[in-house]
Amino acid sequence: MATSQCGIPAQLPADEVTRQQVLESFRILDSLPEQSYDDIVTLAAHICAVPIALISLIDSERQWFKAKVGLDAPQTPREQAFCAHAILNPSDIMEVPDAKLDPRFANNPLVTGEPGIRFYAGAPLVTPFGSALGTLCIIDRVPRRLTPPMAKALKALARQVVRLLELRRALAELETLTQAQQERQQQLEATQKRLDQVISELAQQTMTDSLTGLKNRRAFDQILKEDSSRMVRTHSSLALILLDIDDFKAFNDEFGHVSGDEALQQLARVLQSQARAYDRVARYGGEEFAIVLPDTSMAEALCMAERIRQEVQDADWPNRPVTVSLGVAVASTAADCLSLVARADKVLYQAKETGRNCVVCDNSVA
């Protein structure tokens, strides 16, 4: 093999492609200093009584030092690296007692110049699958040899470096997995939020009258049930107004169903404008509407019913004047609630029978 100005360059390991992939998988190259790695090189230098100790990782074009003591350079070209030779025999320490007498390194700039290497010993950093990523190496500026205890300690420390690397990768993978889980959780939460919104919108649609935008009969039944239960708990009263457009069939026959729908929509707006914030207005069916009034006495409900009747009568209707008949009932006990709708409907019928455009109240409950 030809000798260059760096000495005799090391051959590439047989598993070089795989070795590089494994090295990249640790995400260690160019990382910041870490105390755990620095402690190992400090121990290696102390145990072996040398001025320089390094954790060297062999990249495709360089050797990069994860930790170092006694050397300032963060890396050197791979062609100058003693460690590039050391990883060719992963099973043992490579020891160079005197680099000036070794043809591989005699002309190496690291020998002829700074840091003036004469002695080198590198324990390969071998992963559990057999890839040598670099070395834990020690360097001296004078020729020497390792003692058996030093060699044993160097190998032990090299194994600890590999364990740190494996732990680092496991933590990185865990962080990646955790991040992926968090992102997945966020996606699931966003999906759930959208689903809840869709469900809410669908539920709203099933509880809303599409023509008037008021609550529909299904919603009215639920509202009445909830307000009745609340009334019993709070020992208050619950009023109900049922109202019906007078002669609405004749209106539809004369002006058509489109005009009839517009009249229903206008009446819905009038009712909403007269209702209090906590009252519930619903389209009970056809031209019949209902208003549930929590915590409301008969006198208060009659007052509101009369106000609504007057507002409808005075409203500006596009085809002909529209009037409504209204029936009012009140409940103050659970038993009253069971008959509330029937009683309100009965007096509504009486209002229509006695001339329309009037309010009739239920007096059957004291």
The catalytic position among 95, 287, 300, 353 is: 287
Instruction: Please give the single-letter amino acid code of residue 136.
Output: L
Q: How far apart are the first and last CA of the chain?
A: 117
Distance CA 294, CA 330 (A): 10
Query: Which run of H or of E encompasses 38?
Result: helix 35-48
Residues 45, 106: Cα–Cα separation, whole Å: 24
Long-range contact pairs involving 3-6 (C-beta distance under 8 Å, separation at least 24): 3/103, 3/107, 4/79, 4/107, 5/107, 5/109, 6/77, 6/79, 6/80, 6/107, 6/108, 6/109
For residue 294, give both structure tokens: 């929590």
Q: Where are the beta strands (DSSP E) in 187-342?
A: 238-245, 280-285, 288-294, 324-331
Q: If you compute the radius of gyration of the chain from its CA atoms, what whole number of angstroms results? A: 45
Element (H, E) at 262: helix 257-274
Distance CA 118, CA 96 (A): 8
Q: Are 332 and 318 in contact (CB under 8 A)?
A: no
Tell me if 239 sits within 8 A of 296, measured CB to CB. yes
Does 287 qualify as catalytic in the annotation?
yes
Of 148, 123, 131, nearest to 41 (Cα)? 123
Helix (H, G, I), strand (E, B) or coil at 328: strand
Enumerate the β-bridge partners of residue 53: 69, 138
Catalytic residues, by residue number, are 287
